[in-house]
Structure 1
C-alpha cells in the first residue's frame, strides 16, 4: 500500500492538470471561436488575435493605465506576478507596463550582474520592454528591512505622477510578503506610504497588493483553481437560465492568522482574481526556466510544479 501512494499522487496530479487545461484553455477557446465575430468572419480589427481571459470581475478595472510592478528581487516577477503581468499586457487593456526591482539579487554577491541580465531576459519574455525595467541597488537578504523613507524617495525619483494626469496603478506584495520575506514586506509599507503622500488633486493612483496564500493553497497548483472555475461555470449557466440563484465560492478566503485585516481590505477596496491558461503558464515557465537559469536549483522545479501563484493571482486594492 505504501508503495502505491506515490503512484496515486502522480496520477492525481496529472488528472488535475488535464482537468485544468480543459477548464482554462479548451473550453474558453471553444467559446471564443463560436462567439467572437472577428474570428467567425475572419475580419480582424487589430493586430492581435482575440484572446481568452479568465478574470473576476470579467471587466477588470486596470485599463488604459500606467502600471508599475514593484518587486524586491529578480525572479519575483515570474514566481509571484506572472499571471497579472501577462493578463494586463494584453492589447485590449491598453496598459503601459513598467517594472521596478529594488535589488540585484545580491544575497549571493557573485551572481548580482548575472541576475540583472536574467531579469531583462525574463521581462522580455513576459512582455515588458527593457527600457521600462528599472533595477535598484538595495541589499538583498532575509535580515534586511528596507527603510520606508528610502523606498518612498526611490519611487518618487522613478515615478513622476505630478506631470502625469493618466490613470496610474502600483502592484506589489501585501503586508505578509507571500513568504514573510522582510524585503517584500518593506515594499508593501513603502508603496502604501508613497501612494498616501501623493496629492489627490493632481493624480489618480491605485495600489493593488498580491494576496498571500496559506501553505496548502500556495502549493495546490491546479486543484483549487479547478474547483473555483467549475463552480463559476455552473454559476454562469444557472444565472443564464435561473437568474434569481447566485452561487459564490472563494476557497481559503481566510488562511492567515491575521486574516480579519486582510478580509477588511478586500471589502473596502477592489478585488481582482486572474487565472492563467495553458498558454500563459507556458510563457511563465519559459521566463523562469530560461530567463532565470541561475536560479533553477532543484527546489525551483518543485515550485514550478506545485505553486499556485503561476496560475492564479488575487489582487486587493488598498
Structure 2
C-alpha cells in the first residue's frame, strides 16, 4: 500500500530537510569540506541533556559526530546523586552517546542547588582540561538565562564565557542554547515555526535551528531518569518546545 503523507506531514518534512542544510552550513566554514567534529556538551545536572538538548544530540549523533557530555554535578539536591548518575548513562545510551563519552563530576564546590553559586574560574579550569583530553573543537551549553533560570545552568554558561575570554587565540567554537519566553517554551511543536522565523533573521554562521525528527526518542531518553520521571516532568517533555526544536547561537566574546 502506498505510503502517503498528509499535508501536515509534508509541511514538516520540507523544513526539516532545509534546516539540516542550514545546520551543516552553520557549523562549517564556507567552502570547508564537511568533517566530523569532537563536540562537548556541558550541562549542570543529569536530565538536562534529555529535557533541553535532545534535538541537538540526536542530530549530531545521526551525522556521525563524536559527542561527549560533561555533567558538572550528580544532581544530589535530594540525596539521589548515585541513582541519577546511572540514569544519565542510560539516557545518554538511548541518545546514542556511549558511557565512555559521558563524564559526571561530584565536586564539593559544584553541588546541585538553586542557591549554590558555582565558581566560574573552577568551571573554566575543568572544562579546559576536558577540551584538551578529548581534543574538543566545539562546545555547546546553556545561554546566560539557562532555559529555566536555574543558577547552576547560568553558572555553566558563565564558566564557558570566562574560558573563552581567557583564550583569545582559540581554535574552538562555542554555541549556546537560546532561552525562549514562557509562552513559546510551552507551545510544543508550534514553536518550530517561530524558531524558523527567528533564525532566518540571523546569518547562518551565527544561529541555527535544529528540528527533532523523532521527538519520541526525547521522551524515551527522559524516561530513563526514573527518579525524576514524575507527572509534571512528563507534561514538560510532552509540551516543551525543547523536545521539538533547539535554536543554537554562536557565543562571541
Q: Distance in 2 between matches of 1:293 and 1:300?
A: 11
| Aligned 8 A contact 1:56 1:272 in 2 | no
The alignment status of 1:95 with 2:65, answered yes or no, reads: yes
- Which secondary structure does the structure 1 equivalent of 2:187 belong to? coil
Q: Structure 2 vs 1, CA of residues 105 and 80 (structure 1 numbering), >3 Å: closer, same or farther?
A: same
Displacement of 1:58: 5.1
Q: Distance in 2 between matches of 1:158 and 1:223?
A: 37
Q: Distance in 2 between matches of 1:172 and 1:126?
A: 17
- Offset from partner CA, 1:141-196 (integer Å, 9 cap, x none): 000110001101211222217x94xx711000000111111100000010111123
Q: Distance in 2 between matches of 1:271 and 1:223?
A: 19
Q: Give the corresponding residue for 2:167.
A: 198
Under a length normalisation based on structure 2, what TM-score does the superposition of the two structures give? 0.84
| Aligned 8 A contact 1:53 1:87 in 2 | no
Q: Give the corresponding residue for 1:250.
A: 198
Q: Structure 2 vs 1, CA of residues 64 and 268 (structure 1 numbering), >3 Å: closer, same or farther?
A: closer
The alignment status of 1:154 with 2:93, answered yes or no, reads: no
- Offset from partner CA, 1:107-127 (integer Å, 9 cap, x none): 101x11110000000000001
| Aligned 8 A contact 1:56 1:273 in 2 | no
The count of aligned residue pairs is 236
Q: How does 1:99-248 map to 2 (within 5 A)?
A: 99-109=69-79, 111-137=80-106, 138-160=110-132, 164=135, 168-198=137-167, 200=169, 203-226=170-193
| Aligned 8 A contact 2:215 2:243 in 1 | yes
Q: Give the corresponding residue for 2:218.
A: 284
**Superposition CA RMSD, Å:** 2.7
Q: In the alignment, which of 2, 23, 34 is matched to residue 11 of structure 2?
A: 23
Q: Structure 2 vs 1, CA of residues 189 and 28 (structure 1 numbering), >3 Å: closer, same or farther?
A: closer
| Aligned 8 A contact 1:152 1:194 in 2 | yes
Displacement of 1:228: 6.5
Structure 2 gap segments, 5+ residues each: 1-5, 28-34
Q: Give the corresponding residue for 2:234.
A: 301
- Which secondary structure does the structure 1 equivalent of 2:173 belong to? strand
Q: Distance in 1 between matches of 2:49 and 2:67?
A: 12
| Aligned 8 A contact 2:67 2:97 in 1 | yes
Under a length normalisation based on structure 1, what TM-score does the superposition of the two structures give? 0.67
- Which secondary structure does the structure 2 equivalent of 1:99 belong to? strand
Structure 1 gap segments, 5+ residues each: 1-17, 30-51, 230-248, 254-262
